[in-house]
Chains A and B, each alone.
Chain A
Amino acid sequence: MRWGMVVDLSKCVRCYACIAACRIEHFLPMGINWPRLVAMETGGDSPTVSTYSVRCNQCKDAPCVEVCPTGATTRREDGIVTVDQDKCVGCRYCIVACPYQNRTFLSKDKDQGFFPGRVVTDFEKAGKKLYKHQIGTTEKCNFCAERIDAGLAKGLKPGVDREATPACVNTCPARALTFGDLDDPDSEVSRLIREKKGFQLHPEYNTDPSVFFIDGKIGQSDEPKVDDKPEKEPEAIGVGE
């Protein structure tokens, strides 16, 4: 069994519902997002905006698992890469090693509350009890492992039964996200990947991500040329989140 996700790029409508759902599901501090939407404009005079919904790829050969010096980051038997925040020392080696930049270090300034210095909302109070985020450690998407585990314990099928399916997948109004077992050739994700030629981000790193993308319009292409506008290079790199 290996849980995976398929993102249909042609269906995403940039509503950010996946991000909101994740924030609510995991009581995420204001400064961080586990899934992210990457948008880009192409087309010159009549530009069109394309969107990628990205999150931790739960790689089969995850560099973050390999480099973690404490064993805080591990890969479960079902392929989900998790972080044990009680073991994490905050060395950030995993963040640097992740070629997809899908990990975040939770620093104090990223967890100042929704209304810093004014009021702590009931939602935040509930979050402190139900889903502790430890400042000084690393975080990332876990495919809602707790939902999957609880669902499986009830005999539900992740990707089919909503209660056992990641929150972002449930919430997506355009049905751009599909979840299921990559090892099951009859699962919806396997069928979509097979029929629509699903691709992974940066396969050259040999990490074998569990998140696949399908779309008729956008594929992977060459990276931008470095010599196009050398005077603008500093602007092109290092732009923060």
Chain B
Amino acid sequence: MEAHQWMINYTRQTEWIDRRGIFLWIAFYAGGLGGGLYLVSLYFNSLWGMLVSWLIIAVIKGGTHLVYLGKPLRFWRIITRPQTSWLARGFIFVMLFVIFGAIQMMLTHWLPGSAAEIAFKTLAGIMAFAVALYTGIILKNIKGVPFWNSTLLPILFIFCGLLGGFGLSVIIALNGGDINLAAAETGSRWLLLANVLLIGIYLWQASVKEGTSKQSVLEQLRGHSAPIFWIGIVLLGIIIPLGIALAGMILNDMSSIVLVTGVVCEIIGGLALRYVVLKAGAYKPLVAKPQ
């Protein structure tokens, strides 16, 4: 009965992570990272940050999403059902962000302080937030995967995106960009703590919710995804950046290489978080064993 085990046991979703699914994983993360960086750049009024976030969303997110599609040339059809589909809404958010963001950056460059610039900053900011948020909502709405079916997931994705955004803003500041390094570091530290808290609560509530989501948590902590969870999220995504942040607070000075290492670790942690969330999502058995 081995061949049929997949229907009478917890079944991991594979379409959105295995094989070409890795493109979707990158697209999901790039959406959060780009959206988060844009919002952080708005806070710092950093044109460089805005440009980088625009490139992340337009090129990396858009590109990987297109590559993932089975029929990429039909991509335009995705906008036709926004009334019910969050994927369609997300595609519209991305397109509007790309348009509003491009206009806003031109206005910031040539007409800084104008009413039009403020208006487009607001519009692009709303779209950036939506781009960072919608992938979490897509997963949250899937009832068949109880591990994803949680309101905390979109919030976690937003905070993870903001953390990556603050991290990238540190790199922009180190390269002489228009961002205050100390403020970026402080923001990064607080966001890191918030992320640790959110990940802990998310896993805890998934483990107590019901059997299938508990199975997903166990898969991360002890199953095949455990190395990615413990090394990617815990060690690289939390412990190392936290250690660097604490050392920075104590020493009051930190070399650029160490700071960049911390940011790279944070980004790997963010990628690992998206990966294990997608990888550990499991369905209830289609047919339950008789008692």
A contact residues vs B (CB 8 Å cutoff): 36-42, 49-50, 52, 54, 63, 65-72, 87-93, 95-101, 105-107, 134-138, 201-202, 205, 217-226, 230, 233-234, 236-241
Q: Mark B215-227, 1 if CB is under 8 A from A, else 0.
A: 1001100111000
Given contacts A69-B85, A226-B214, contact A219 B290 (CB under 8 A): yes
On whether the beta carbons of A70 and B144 are closer than 8 Å, the reply is no
Given contacts A40-B4, A69-B87, A201-B286, contact A236 B10 (CB under 8 A): yes
A229 to chain B, nearest CB (A): 11
B contact residues vs A (CB 8 Å cutoff): 1-2, 4-16, 19, 68-72, 74-75, 77-81, 84-88, 91, 138, 141-145, 211-212, 214-215, 218-219, 222-224, 282-291
Cα–Cα, bound, A107→B20 (Å): 10
Kindly report which residue of chain A lies nearest to residue B90, judged by CB atoms: A69
On whether the beta carbons of B144 and A239 are closer than 8 Å, the reply is no
On whether the beta carbons of B70 and A220 are closer than 8 Å, the reply is no
Cα–Cα, bound, A115→B18 (Å): 27
Cα–Cα, bound, A106→B157 (Å): 30
Not counting A66-B84, A91-B69, a sample of 9 additional A-B residue pairs whose C-beta atoms are within 8 angstroms of each other reads A54-B7, A91-B87, A97-B142, A100-B144, A137-B70, A223-B284, A237-B9, A238-B11, A238-B14
On whether the beta carbons of A100 and B286 are closer than 8 Å, the reply is yes
Taking a contact as CB atoms closer than 8 A, the residue among B7, B13, B16, B84 that contacts A38 in the complex is B7
Cα–Cα, bound, A37→B8 (Å): 11
Closest 8 CB pairs of A and B: A90-B70, A99-B144, A136-B70, A69-B88, A238-B12, A70-B77, A38-B7, A69-B87
Cα–Cα, bound, A18→B141 (Å): 33
Residues of A within 8 A of B223 (CB): 233-234, 237
Cα–Cα, bound, A67→B19 (Å): 22
Residues of A within 8 A of B218 (CB): 226, 230, 233
Cα–Cα, bound, A65→B10 (Å): 24
Kindly report which residue of chain A lies nearest to residue B138, judged by CB atoms: A93
On whether the beta carbons of B290 and A50 are closer than 8 Å, the reply is yes
Given contacts A66-B84, A226-B215, contact A89 B15 (CB under 8 A): no
B242 to chain A, nearest CB (A): 29
Given contacts A38-B4, A96-B16, contact A91 B78 (CB under 8 A): yes
Taking a contact as CB atoms closer than 8 A, the residue among B5, B91, B224, B290 that contacts A234 in the complex is B224
